[in-house]
Structures are given as C-alpha cells and as structure tokens.
Amino acid sequence: MTEEIKTGTTTLAMVCKDGVVAGTERRATMGTMIAHKTTKKMFKIDEGLCLTTAGLVGDAQTLARWLSVESSLYKMRKGGSMSVKAASTLMANILNSHKYSPYWVQLLIGGVDKEGNHVYSLDAAGGAIPDKYVGTGSGSPYAYGVLEDHYRDDLTTNDGIDLTVRALTMAMRRDAACGDGIDIAVITKKGYKQLTDEEIKKRKEKIGLTE
C-alpha cells in the first residue's frame, strides 16, 4: 500500500488443517492520537466466512455490510452458503470498480467451504490473492516475522490460535498504532466461533506472554 493509505492496524489469517484462524487488534488511530480502543476489525459474514479490515473505518464498515448482505441474498437464492472464492471474487470486483475513487482498505477473507479451508488477501485496487497465511496493516511486518518462523502446513486451529496470539502480541509491542486487545475467530466445518477475552488471556498465560 502507498504511504497515503497505510493504516495503524494489524490483522492476520491463516489456513489450518481443520479450519481457518483469523485475528485482529482493536486500536484505531488518527495520526498520533488513539481515537478508539475497542474498534471492530473482524466481521462474521456467515457461519463459514469472516472478513478482517485495515484502513478507513467508514469504508471498512460499508464493505463489511455489503458483503454480509450479498452473502445472505446468495443463501436465499441458492439455498447454500457462498464459497470463500466467490466471496473474495465479489469483493475484488467491488473494489476494482471503485479503483479511481477507491475504498481505502486492505481486506482479508477467510473461511471454510466444500472445497476446503481458504484465506484471501484483497487490496484497494481489487487484487485478490489466496495464501496460507496473510497479514495486513502497519504492524504486519512484525506479525510476519512470527508467522514465517512458526507457521506449518499441519497446524491445527488450536495451534493456530496460539500462533495468532503470539503474532499479534509481538506486533502490538512494536507498533504504537496497534493495541488495546485482541479479537480471534475460528472457522471450522462446525461453524464460526469468536474467542472471549478470558479465553485469549488464558492462551497468553499458557504460552508465557505477558503485557
């Protein structure tokens, strides 16, 4: 992303052998000011689909609502859930159609469907790239350092939660634009689950991370 649209955020998502794990921190900034400490950057789109957002809050919320509505309409018309690839393609087309007056966002779409477990990274111009693990936002270089070192193809979602906690914690320690807590969602064939603050606290204690 260009300097003009870099955002004070860390989000990430990873493919695990039994599902997908996605995580974000909660801080919103306006320059050097902490504007909000409980910002929602993770959105449940469907039982098998989630969206994480980095960028302008208004743009991110608009796109999350848009994708959620399209997903619901698809289910009503087709009698089944939209695939992860279809959701990513739809969002990529929306972003591409506005690339000359763009939404200032970088998005991650992750989920589980009949074809397996998937994570896609989408840029503001409408590029959509599948990957095993992806990070966005200003704290992502620090998160990537952890992911590159610890990610494995045979990770379970249980392992993925621990890795997400570790990666986000490291990003929050080094990027002042990130902080104020963690949100983590796990998607498996059983559906969508978001961890509570208490569950995340116990995970941090288990792997020896302190504030």
Cα–Cα distance for residue pair 120/105, rounded to 1 Å: 14
| Structural domains of the chain sorted by starting position, each given as residue range(s) with its CATH number in brackets | 3-206 (3.60.20.10)
Query: Which of 2, 7, 9, 10 is an active site residue?
Result: 9
Does residue 9 carry a catalytic annotation? yes
CA distance 58 to 113: 29
Each residue of 107-147: pLDDT tens digit?
999 999 999 999 999 999 999 999 999 999 999 999 999 99
Q: Could you read off the pLDDT of 38-90 as tens digits, one per residue?
A: 999 999 999 999 999 998 889 999 999 999 999 999 999 999 999 999 999 99
Edge-to-edge strands, sheet with 191-194: 133-136, 11-16, 19-25, 182-188, 191-194
Instruction: Report CA torsion sign: 144, 66, 126, 93.
Output: positive
Q: At 173, which amino acid appears?
A: R
Residue indicated by tokens 């399209």? 70
Give the global pTM: 0.93
